[in-house]
Structure 1
């Protein structure tokens, strides 16, 4: 029986790269998206091109009803074996004192509450051998001063969620890990008002460059797979040395 994996925020960036790699590694994949139906359809078509089953579901991961519907769709493909909690959002880069309550609530809703809701659904449906990977950020330990401290705080909570769930679900044979990317070339930077931020950050990175989405996806797929069978409660940093 093929693995069945849910990838949130699977229509772009790290999520899309992860969906493609999972399909190439024999996974049937359910991806969710919020706005760009054509991008989601294109990623789903890559799954089909790899000979795997794929479903694209429009869903807001901060909405518990949408999350339940997403996981019900996955159940159509078989028993759930994997979850990649990837859907994320920032707000416009700027000083902490300028963060609006609306932006703060949305960042927490998507980056933390959404992860919790999806992890709850996965934990209810998975059996031994299942695996969850949360996409955190190097910002969780760097703090992102002057840019988005609130986002960094949400990602620090993701790391704690990862450790706690790993300990709670481990006795059931379910592994929980996180990947913490550094500055990666994705369009999340455009959404925060600075599309070329990776280029600005590159000189600060020991490896001298920003990362690519596919480099993060490779780590995610490894953590979901059998080669990571004794790895749980780990936050794997993919940040070029930061």
Structure 2
């Protein structure tokens, strides 16, 4: 586990309360996004700055622990918690979402354990701490993808990240759709509803009609769940009679 994740995991669950200060709602224009601007170096700087900030806080925390300064240690841990609770956008999905060429090939015990822990956090819904548990789960699923890109759990982790980013805590719908897509791109035979979830996001939320139609067709041609197949066919029929 990355050192800077300590504060989000170490504080007792009952002590974590929702902050509700920063809105996570997606306010970007709906529809197919324009070509990305030349923001690559700027976004890379933001990603680097985030990591350096957390690393610096962890070093400061270690310093206070070494000198038994419990009060300032608590201050640092509170600041780290606040950082994890704010909305951090994936300004460029190509820097956030792993490539579609990964393959879930190997049973890796360490990856399995990360997945188990992440699912345990995701499944907890105690009043007042469910948002923090989703953030804990997000960190672990992302760590799994980063550290074990050949694990046979990557497609499942991608699906769970799609579910997390679609949730009311994050509301990052384009990011969610991309992770749902990675689920079935990495494992074309997935038994999840990742294709349907991605199709519905593009259809009803992101209003990308073309991509939605492509994915509904994939559902109707590839999905093993007959209910999803029929649902996709009905929506395709509706879209075919509705002007763009």
TM range (shorter): under 0.3
Q: TM-score, normalised to structure 2's length?
A: 0.26
More helix by share: 2
More strand by share: 1
Q: TM-score, normalised to structure 1's length?
A: 0.26
